[in-house]
């Protein structure tokens, strides 16, 4: 199973991923960085492709742990 993960050190909180996510699985936390709700994320990769900072990566997950 694949899920998106965000590198908060690279994230610029632009919100592009939020707008692109078809499952509404991403929010911007306190205007600082994107947070992915892994329960909603289906690992489609749209956010990864849309992220201008390259901070979001879709990774393989085992037992709910990235």
Quote the pTM value.
0.89
Contact 12, 47 (CB under 8 A): no
Contact 37, 25 (CB under 8 A): yes
Domains along the chain with CATH numbers: 2-60 (3.30.70.20)
Q: How far apart are CA 53 and CA 40, in angstroms?
A: 22
CB atoms within 10 A of CB 21: 23
At residue 28, the pLDDT reads: 98
At residue 65, the pLDDT reads: 58
At residue 29, the pLDDT reads: 98
Q: What is the pLDDT along the chain (66 residues), one digit of tens a residue?
A: 999 999 999 999 999 999 999 999 999 999 999 999 999 999 999 999 999 999 999 999 886 555
The residue among 46, 26, 45 whose CA lies nearest residue 36 is: 26
Start-end of H helices in 1-66: 16-20, 46-50
């Amino acid at each position: 199973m694949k899920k998106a993960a965000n590198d908060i050190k690279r994230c610029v909180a632009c919100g592009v991923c939020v707008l692109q996510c078809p499952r509404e699985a991403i929010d911007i936390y306190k205007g600082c960085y994107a947070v992915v709700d892994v329960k909603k994320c289906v690992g489609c990769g749209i956010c990864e492709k849309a992220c201008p900072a390259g901070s979001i990566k879709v990774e393989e997950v085992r037992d709910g742990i990235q």
